[in-house]
Protein backbone atom coordinates (compact mmCIF):
# COMPACT_ATOMS: atom_id res chain seq x y z
CA UNK A 1 0.00 0.00 0.00
CA UNK A 2 1.31 3.47 -0.80
CA UNK A 3 2.02 6.07 1.86
CA UNK A 4 -1.00 8.07 0.76
CA UNK A 5 -3.28 5.05 0.94
CA UNK A 6 -1.93 4.12 4.41
CA UNK A 7 -2.61 7.62 5.70
CA UNK A 8 -6.01 7.67 4.04
CA UNK A 9 -7.08 4.30 5.46
CA UNK A 10 -5.32 4.11 8.80
CA UNK A 11 -4.11 7.51 10.10
CA UNK A 12 -5.91 8.85 13.20
CA UNK A 13 -5.88 12.53 14.17
CA UNK A 14 -3.97 13.17 17.41
CA UNK A 15 -2.75 9.56 17.43
CA UNK A 16 -1.10 8.25 14.33
CA UNK A 17 0.33 9.03 10.92
CA UNK A 18 2.58 7.20 8.48
CA UNK A 19 5.86 8.62 7.17
CA UNK A 20 8.48 7.45 4.72
CA UNK A 21 12.21 7.77 5.48
CA UNK A 22 15.00 8.27 2.92
CA UNK A 23 15.66 4.56 2.42
CA UNK A 24 12.01 4.05 1.49
CA UNK A 25 10.97 2.31 4.71
CA UNK A 26 7.57 3.37 6.05
CA UNK A 27 6.97 3.98 9.75
CA UNK A 28 3.80 4.36 11.80
CA UNK A 29 4.44 7.39 14.03
CA UNK A 30 2.33 7.39 17.17
CA UNK A 31 1.97 10.51 19.28
CA UNK A 32 -0.92 10.36 21.74
CA UNK A 33 -1.86 11.58 25.22
CA UNK A 34 0.46 9.05 26.87
CA UNK A 35 3.51 8.41 24.72
CA UNK A 36 5.31 8.51 21.41
CA UNK A 37 6.37 5.45 19.42
CA UNK A 38 7.43 4.51 15.93
CA UNK A 39 6.95 1.19 14.18
CA UNK A 40 8.53 0.20 10.85
CA UNK A 41 6.24 -1.75 8.53
CA UNK A 42 9.29 -3.81 7.62
CA UNK A 43 9.36 -6.45 10.35
CA UNK A 44 6.48 -4.74 12.23
CA UNK A 45 9.52 -3.50 14.09
CA UNK A 46 8.83 -1.20 17.05
CA UNK A 47 11.80 1.17 16.85
CA UNK A 48 11.00 3.59 19.69
CA UNK A 49 8.68 3.91 22.68
CA UNK A 50 8.80 6.82 25.10
CA UNK A 51 6.08 7.58 27.63
CA UNK A 52 5.51 11.32 28.08
CA UNK A 53 7.85 12.83 30.66
CA UNK A 54 10.12 9.74 30.64
CA UNK A 55 13.41 8.79 29.05
CA UNK A 56 13.00 6.31 26.16
CA UNK A 57 12.12 2.82 27.37
CA UNK A 58 13.33 1.15 24.18
CA UNK A 59 16.94 1.49 22.99
CA UNK A 60 17.64 2.25 19.35
CA UNK A 61 21.27 2.39 18.24
CA UNK A 62 22.51 5.78 17.08
CA UNK A 63 23.94 3.87 14.11
CA UNK A 64 20.77 1.89 13.35
CA UNK A 65 20.24 1.52 9.62
CA UNK A 66 16.78 1.50 8.14
CA UNK A 67 17.50 -0.50 5.02
CA UNK A 68 15.19 -2.74 3.01
CA UNK A 69 15.73 -6.40 3.93
CA UNK A 70 18.04 -5.63 6.89
CA UNK A 71 17.25 -5.96 10.57
CA UNK A 72 17.28 -2.75 12.63
CA UNK A 73 19.76 -2.60 15.56
CA UNK A 74 17.58 -1.85 18.55
CA UNK A 75 13.86 -1.60 19.14
CA UNK A 76 11.81 -4.79 19.24
CA UNK A 77 12.95 -7.18 16.49
CA UNK A 78 10.54 -10.08 16.05
CA UNK A 79 12.30 -13.44 16.02
CA UNK A 80 9.91 -15.80 14.22
CA UNK A 81 9.32 -18.65 13.28
CA UNK A 82 12.54 -19.81 14.87
CA UNK A 83 14.89 -18.33 17.45
CA UNK A 84 18.66 -18.34 16.87
CA UNK A 85 20.01 -20.47 14.05
CA UNK A 86 17.60 -22.63 12.06
CA UNK A 87 17.48 -26.19 13.45
CA UNK A 88 18.81 -27.95 10.34
CA UNK A 89 19.71 -25.35 7.72
CA UNK A 90 22.47 -22.92 8.70
CA UNK A 91 21.95 -20.94 5.47
CA UNK A 92 18.56 -19.68 6.65
CA UNK A 93 18.62 -16.36 8.53
CA UNK A 94 19.29 -16.35 12.27
CA UNK A 95 16.15 -15.57 14.31
CA UNK A 96 13.92 -16.28 11.30
CA UNK A 97 12.79 -13.94 8.54
CA UNK A 98 9.89 -12.05 10.12
CA UNK A 99 12.04 -9.08 11.14
CA UNK A 100 13.26 -8.33 7.61
CA UNK A 101 10.15 -8.73 5.44
CA UNK A 102 7.24 -6.36 4.82
CA UNK A 103 4.14 -6.55 7.06
CA UNK A 104 0.81 -4.92 6.31
CA UNK A 105 -1.37 -2.80 8.54
CA UNK A 106 -4.60 -4.65 9.37
CA UNK A 107 -6.27 -2.24 11.76
CA UNK A 108 -5.70 0.93 13.75
CA UNK A 109 -7.91 2.50 16.40
CA UNK A 110 -7.94 5.09 19.14
CA UNK A 111 -8.93 3.54 22.47
CA UNK A 112 -11.18 5.20 25.05
CA UNK A 113 -8.28 5.72 27.49
CA UNK A 114 -6.26 7.67 24.90
CA UNK A 115 -4.03 4.75 23.87
CA UNK A 116 -3.49 3.79 20.23
CA UNK A 117 -3.98 0.26 18.92
CA UNK A 118 -2.37 -1.10 15.74
CA UNK A 119 -2.32 -4.56 14.26
CA UNK A 120 -0.02 -5.89 11.54
CA UNK A 121 0.13 -9.11 9.54
CA UNK A 122 3.22 -10.64 7.93
CA UNK A 123 2.95 -10.71 4.13
CA UNK A 124 3.94 -14.11 2.77
CA UNK A 125 5.65 -14.54 -0.56
CA UNK A 126 7.50 -17.33 -2.39
CA UNK A 127 10.73 -16.62 -0.48
CA UNK A 128 9.07 -16.82 2.94
CA UNK A 129 7.15 -19.95 1.94
CA UNK A 130 10.40 -21.60 0.79
CA UNK A 131 11.90 -20.96 4.25
CA UNK A 132 8.83 -21.99 6.22
CA UNK A 133 6.77 -24.60 4.46
CA UNK A 134 3.99 -24.56 7.07
CA UNK A 135 0.63 -22.94 6.51
CA UNK A 136 0.29 -20.29 9.18
CA UNK A 137 -0.48 -16.67 9.88
CA UNK A 138 1.29 -14.32 12.26
CA UNK A 139 0.05 -10.97 13.53
CA UNK A 140 1.49 -8.33 15.82
CA UNK A 141 -0.88 -6.30 17.97
CA UNK A 142 0.53 -3.21 19.64
CA UNK A 143 -1.10 -0.89 22.16
CA UNK A 144 0.80 2.32 22.79
CA UNK A 145 -0.28 3.91 26.06
CA UNK A 146 1.48 4.77 29.30
CA UNK A 147 2.68 1.18 28.98
CA UNK A 148 3.50 -0.67 25.78
CA UNK A 149 1.56 -3.87 25.15
CA UNK A 150 2.76 -6.23 22.40
CA UNK A 151 1.14 -9.48 21.31
CA UNK A 152 2.52 -11.88 18.73
CA UNK A 153 -0.23 -14.22 17.56
CA UNK A 154 0.52 -17.31 15.46
CA UNK A 155 -2.13 -19.58 13.97
CA UNK A 156 -1.53 -22.94 12.35
CA UNK A 157 -3.86 -22.80 9.35
CA UNK A 158 -2.56 -26.08 7.89
CA UNK A 159 -3.30 -29.73 8.54
CA UNK A 160 -0.04 -30.74 10.24
CA UNK A 161 1.44 -29.60 13.53
CA UNK A 162 4.69 -27.60 13.57
CA UNK A 163 7.29 -26.39 16.05
CA UNK A 164 7.49 -22.67 16.62
CA UNK A 165 10.41 -20.72 18.11
CA UNK A 166 9.90 -17.01 18.74
CA UNK A 167 10.91 -14.00 20.77
CA UNK A 168 10.39 -10.29 21.12
CA UNK A 169 14.09 -9.41 21.08
CA UNK A 170 13.56 -6.16 22.95
CA UNK A 171 16.46 -3.73 23.51
CA UNK A 172 15.89 -1.59 26.64
CA UNK A 173 17.40 1.83 27.19
CA UNK A 174 19.35 2.07 30.46
CA UNK A 175 21.56 4.78 32.00
CA UNK A 176 24.67 2.60 32.07
CA UNK A 177 25.10 -1.14 32.32
CA UNK A 178 27.03 -0.72 35.61
CA UNK A 179 23.95 0.92 37.15
CA UNK A 180 21.46 -1.82 36.42
CA UNK A 181 20.32 -5.14 37.86
CA UNK A 182 17.78 -7.50 36.34
CA UNK A 183 15.54 -9.19 38.90
CA UNK A 184 12.99 -11.97 38.54
CA UNK A 185 15.14 -14.81 37.24
CA UNK A 186 16.66 -15.89 40.57
CA UNK A 187 16.69 -19.72 40.88
CA UNK A 188 15.95 -20.14 37.14
CA UNK A 189 18.07 -22.44 35.02
CA UNK A 190 19.79 -20.98 32.00
CA UNK A 191 21.77 -22.14 29.00
CA UNK A 192 24.88 -20.01 28.60
CA UNK A 193 25.73 -19.35 24.94
CA UNK A 194 29.06 -17.83 25.99
CA UNK A 195 29.97 -21.21 27.58
CA UNK A 196 28.81 -23.50 24.79
CA UNK A 197 25.25 -23.61 26.17
CA UNK A 198 26.29 -25.16 29.50
CA UNK A 199 23.43 -25.18 32.03
CA UNK A 200 23.60 -23.10 35.21
CA UNK A 201 21.22 -21.85 37.90
CA UNK A 202 20.88 -18.11 38.44
CA UNK A 203 21.57 -17.28 42.09
CA UNK A 204 20.99 -13.55 42.47
CA UNK A 205 19.87 -10.55 40.45
CA UNK A 206 21.73 -10.31 37.13
CA UNK A 207 24.59 -7.84 37.02
CA UNK A 208 26.41 -7.48 33.69
CA UNK A 209 30.19 -6.96 33.66
CA UNK A 210 31.16 -8.87 30.50
CA UNK A 211 29.42 -10.50 27.53
CA UNK A 212 26.13 -12.10 28.59
CA UNK A 213 24.08 -14.29 26.24
CA UNK A 214 21.74 -16.61 28.14
CA UNK A 215 18.49 -18.42 27.51
CA UNK A 216 16.62 -18.77 30.81
CA UNK A 217 14.38 -21.78 30.31
CA UNK A 218 10.99 -22.78 31.64
CA UNK A 219 10.28 -19.45 33.27
CA UNK A 220 7.12 -17.37 33.11
CA UNK A 221 8.47 -14.87 35.67
CA UNK A 222 7.98 -11.13 35.39
CA UNK A 223 11.36 -9.41 35.10
CA UNK A 224 12.33 -6.00 36.38
CA UNK A 225 15.24 -3.93 35.11
CA UNK A 226 16.26 -1.76 38.06
CA UNK A 227 18.18 1.29 36.88
CA UNK A 228 19.80 3.32 39.65
CA UNK A 229 21.07 5.92 37.16
CA UNK A 230 17.62 6.73 35.75
CA UNK A 231 15.98 6.05 39.14
CA UNK A 232 13.40 3.84 37.52
CA UNK A 233 12.43 0.22 37.04
CA UNK A 234 11.16 -1.24 33.76
CA UNK A 235 8.68 -4.05 34.36
CA UNK A 236 8.40 -6.84 31.80
CA UNK A 237 5.26 -8.90 32.37
CA UNK A 238 4.60 -11.75 29.96
CA UNK A 239 2.14 -14.47 29.00
CA UNK A 240 2.55 -17.39 26.61
CA UNK A 241 6.32 -17.32 27.04
CA UNK A 242 8.49 -19.88 28.80
CA UNK A 243 11.93 -18.54 27.93
CA UNK A 244 13.63 -15.26 28.74
CA UNK A 245 16.84 -14.33 26.93
CA UNK A 246 19.26 -11.84 28.45
CA UNK A 247 21.88 -10.37 26.14
CA UNK A 248 24.57 -7.74 26.18
CA UNK A 249 27.35 -8.22 23.61
CA UNK A 250 29.93 -6.23 25.60
CA UNK A 251 32.75 -4.21 24.01
CA UNK A 252 34.46 -6.53 21.57
CA UNK A 253 31.38 -8.14 20.00
CA UNK A 254 29.53 -4.81 19.83
CA UNK A 255 32.53 -3.23 18.05
CA UNK A 256 32.60 -6.12 15.57
CA UNK A 257 28.89 -5.73 14.83
CA UNK A 258 29.59 -2.21 13.62
CA UNK A 259 26.14 -0.75 14.32
CA UNK A 260 26.29 -0.24 18.09
CA UNK A 261 28.39 2.93 18.07
CA UNK A 262 31.24 3.56 20.48
CA UNK A 263 30.29 2.17 23.91
CA UNK A 264 26.74 1.71 22.60
CA UNK A 265 26.43 -1.56 24.48
CA UNK A 266 26.69 0.28 27.82
CA UNK A 267 23.33 1.97 27.31
CA UNK A 268 21.31 -1.14 26.47
CA UNK A 269 20.29 -4.56 27.62
CA UNK A 270 18.09 -7.09 25.83
CA UNK A 271 15.53 -8.93 27.92
CA UNK A 272 13.67 -11.06 25.43
CA UNK A 273 10.38 -12.83 26.08
CA UNK A 274 9.92 -15.90 23.94
CA UNK A 275 9.89 -19.63 23.47
CA UNK A 276 13.31 -20.98 22.54
CA UNK A 277 15.37 -24.17 22.66
CA UNK A 278 13.60 -26.69 24.96
CA UNK A 279 10.59 -24.37 25.19
CA UNK A 280 9.65 -24.23 21.49
CA UNK A 281 5.87 -24.46 21.08
CA UNK A 282 4.19 -27.29 19.22
CA UNK A 283 1.19 -25.88 17.43
CA UNK A 284 -1.40 -28.44 16.30
CA UNK A 285 -3.47 -27.92 13.14
CA UNK A 286 -5.97 -25.12 13.73
CA UNK A 287 -4.37 -23.94 16.98
CA UNK A 288 -3.44 -20.36 17.86
CA UNK A 289 -0.60 -19.39 20.17
CA UNK A 290 -0.24 -15.94 21.70
CA UNK A 291 2.92 -14.42 23.17
CA UNK A 292 2.04 -11.22 25.05
CA UNK A 293 4.19 -8.73 26.95
CA UNK A 294 3.58 -5.46 28.76
CA UNK A 295 6.46 -3.03 29.32
CA UNK A 296 5.81 -0.42 32.00
CA UNK A 297 7.90 2.03 34.01
CA UNK A 298 7.94 2.64 37.74
CA UNK A 299 9.86 5.50 39.36
CA UNK A 300 12.30 4.42 42.07
Contact footprint for ligand TA6 (CB under 6 A): 71, 84, 94-95, 169, 193, 213, 245, 247, 270, 272
* Of 74, 45, 50, 72, residue with least CA distance to 60: 74
289 counts as catalytic? no
Residue nearer to ligand TA6 on the CB measure, 95 or 238: 95
| Cβ nearer to ligand TA6, comparing 71 with 119 | 71
Among the options 151, 265, 272, 289, which is catalytic?
Answer: 272
Give least dist CB 23 to ligand TA6, A.
18
Closest CB to ligand TA6 among 24 and 85?
A: 85
Whether 173 is catalytic is no
Q: How far is the CB of 209 from ligand TA6 (least distance, A)?
A: 18
- Nearest-CA neighbor of 271 among 142, 204, 177? 177
Shortest Å distance, C-beta 273 to ligand TA6: 11
Min dist CB 148 to ligand TA6, Å, is 19
> By Cβ distance, which residue is nearest to ligand TA6?
247
Closer to ligand TA6 by Cβ: residue 94 or 286: 94
* Closer residue to ligand TA6, CB minimum distance, 70 or 109: 70
Supply the minimum distance, in Å, between the C-beta of residue 99 and ligand TA6. Answer: 8
Q: Say if residues 145 and 115 touch (Cβ distance below 8 Å).
A: yes
Active-site pick, 95, 169, 173, 289: 169
Q: Which residues are catalytic?
A: 169, 272
Amino acid sequence: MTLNALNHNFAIANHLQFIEVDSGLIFAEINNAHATASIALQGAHIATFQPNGEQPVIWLSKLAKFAPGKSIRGGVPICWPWFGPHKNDSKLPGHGYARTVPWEVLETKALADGSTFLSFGLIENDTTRAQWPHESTVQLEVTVGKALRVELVTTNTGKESFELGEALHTYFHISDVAQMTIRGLEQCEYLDKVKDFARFTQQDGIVIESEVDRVYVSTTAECVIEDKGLKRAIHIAKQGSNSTVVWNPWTEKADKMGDFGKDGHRGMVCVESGNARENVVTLAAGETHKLAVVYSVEKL
